[in-house]
Structure 1
Amino acid sequence: MGFSRFLADWLQKYLFFSGPARRLTHMMNLSINSFRKLTPAIIKSQKLASDTNVVETTKTEVASALKKAAPALGIKGTAYHILDILLALSKADDWNAKRKPIVAISNEKLAEYVCRSKRTVSRAISSLVEAGVLAYKDSPTGRRFIHRETNTDGEEGKIKTGFGLDFSPARQRVRELAQIATSFAKKLAAEKEARRSVTRLSRAIADMIVYGEENELPVGPLVDALTKVTNTSLPLAECAERLEEIHDMGIEILSAPFLRDEKEHTSCAGDIIDAPIHNTNSTTPNFICNEQASTLDHTTQTPETDAKSSMAFEDVKGNKSEGEKADTRPMPHPSEAIPDSKLTIGMISAATLQMQEAFDLKIENWSDMNKASQDLCAALGVSTKAFNAACMEIDRRLALGILAVTCEKMLRDPSSISNIGGYFRACVSRARTGKFALNRTVFGLIKGQAACQLQ
């Protein structure tokens, strides 16, 4: 009974599982070990490695782009060290478009090179694959090896069979890696400059606060603004911009007293002489010339006045032009308010005797004055750009007159003008608005010269 039952069970079992059904059941019971757990980044690297449109490049170009972009890709420490070793082991010929840049080296050997554990090396390689630099090309057993063809001269040729770590993803991304490296370098430079600006401006603002407190200046807003920025977590670039604004505000606060004093010293409001000047001579001196027909406003000149102006600017040797002959009419009273356009070169020459003596000049016409303008600007510290701008804002002759009287006043009393450039610009600004009377300034200088001669 027992044997019969055993035989029946045995026949049923092996007859049922015979043929294809038995083989399928055997395969389903097999245990397949995987290489690793896949991630989207690993799959993306595998896709890049299998791309048939190979980018033409070289090992040198890819290696340079990789090392420059490594910080931006998060490759550092052991991963960077392993990347450097793998690049050194790859052959330059394998980076050709018709080959695969595969490197075959075990994790044990890499662990010896970098003095780390095999587990650390495995994680570093995984990070390189996920960064889109490498791709796995595994053999059936997981071992990494390369078999190469042998050339006729006995040297190793291209790879015939190779399994290991493939640099094809980096080769396909070489242009992208170069752009990443460039952007990262610019970002680092901007952060470095912002960091320097933050340190520099913070110290400068601190110095301003100390100076303001010592001199009882209103630096309260400066302190509040600096405290607000330092207590707020801001990006370096934004923090540098805020500190730049605070620094500018500090300069305005600290320079306010100096600007106020400069305005008081450089104001030309006192140049207007209100006291009447009476001429006791029946005739005017020979140095006062009749050039009143020539106007200073070149925008309103007529052909007739243009001819006279051109005569006035000619270099005269020996004889004087008709417009420079002596005039016997009495000197006008300042209260008659002679327009600046009627001011003659003779009046300016009479008012600037010390200037002509100091610079060895002889001002007989506007051409002489124009030639001396460059030396006068250099002596007074007035830039050529500022003088040309004055000639554009007002008339050139009027600007020459202001330059001459400024130099004369400086020579007579150096302490009267603290800022020559500011004084000149102030006179030009007032002349542009019609608030500066050059004729009265000239008569005042002539009067002062006459008083000195009497003493």
Structure 2
Amino acid sequence: MESGSVTTPFGRRPMTLGMLASQLVSRDIEDGKSIDKWKLYRALCEARPLIGVTDRALAVMSALLSFYPKDELSETNGLVVFPSNAQLSLRSHGMTEQTIRRHLAILVQAGLIVRKDSPNGKRYVRRGSTGAIDDAFGFSLAPLLARADELEELAAQVVAERLQLRRLRERLTLCRRDVTKLIEAALEEGASGNWEMVTTHFRALVTAIPRTPTVLEVTTALGEIEMLRQEIVNQLEMQLKSKDISGNPFQNDRHIQNSKPESISEFEPANEQRQGENSEPGQLVPKTAMTRQKRDGYGKPNSGATTTGEGGQNSSSATGKMKAFPLALVLQACPEIIPYGSGGAISNWRDLMAAAVVVRSMLGVSPDAYQQACEILGAENAATVIACILERAGHINSAGGYLRDLTRRAEKGEFAIGPMIMSLARANGNSVRRAG
């Protein structure tokens, strides 16, 4: 500022620590520092969301800058402007004087200008005999010049966030289109699955997006919808692969012979079966999951001991996946999952696994947690556990954390599905006998 003393406001306006801080900041201007006032004003407009000033306050700031005689703000040319409210009103598109005073107070409070009031509160200039300005009373633009670097950084941050938001919204639009068209294709082609439930879940995700979302809100919505898209793709891909395998007997035979844990193929059965044994096809695990399985050490069988759970259910440490319980017994113990099957019914393991994918998303279980459960427990048993969690959803705080905990315990040989199934069956009043 031009003087080293602190200036206080005229009349009833109180002095605040914020005003004092603005005056102290305005003294820390580097020698010879200057900046184009309109370039700085554009940065100020960009940074407005982070500064907390209104657009009308910026209009008043533009009017103040228009009264500065030079294009370059610098201490050499002086930094005080002294227009009357009537003059400010003319350059603020006819804004009333009362409104101007209110927005001037906002600019002062934001630390962008400092009042330099005269003894009587009027704004004027005192010139010397040569016509040069000796002293001026009005509004000092020194804080604006002192904070020029900060304002430009804030403006760059806002521009970057706006660009990020625009790109995220583009991705969200594409993802929504993908999900819509994939569901339409599944319905037109008659693919198995509870597509009505998937559509309802998709609409709920879209409806939850605010009209003017933030970066965080768009990121969250995008993650959920991308997760749903991947689940739909996995389910359709599994059905297409099953059709390809079952449609060619020679290809089916060759696939069974090559599905060893040590082999890296595009897909592998998610549950163990004896060669030549007739059973329903299990859920297929994508190649990426198989690669991760080998990297983490799950793909190599160990010779650890196994423990036997209730009902003859075998739980192994890292030796292999558990044997699946009879589907009828699972549905007797967990009837809540039946409406999520294709057409509101579950007639085979494929229907149960498709229903588990929908329920998994509803329960908030991440794809990674469910994929890991499929790798450790087997696809049928992972779907069974999801059915059990749905049955007890009102008593479980975090379904995802619960599934991860069961998966870790199963990997160590400390968890068997048998007691869980039998307990739920008894709770539902079903009379079952142990499978042996």
* TM score, norm. by length of structure 1: 0.45
Name the larger-Rg structure: 1
In the superposition, the TM-score normalised over structure 2's length comes to 0.47
Normalized per residue, the structure richer in helix is 1
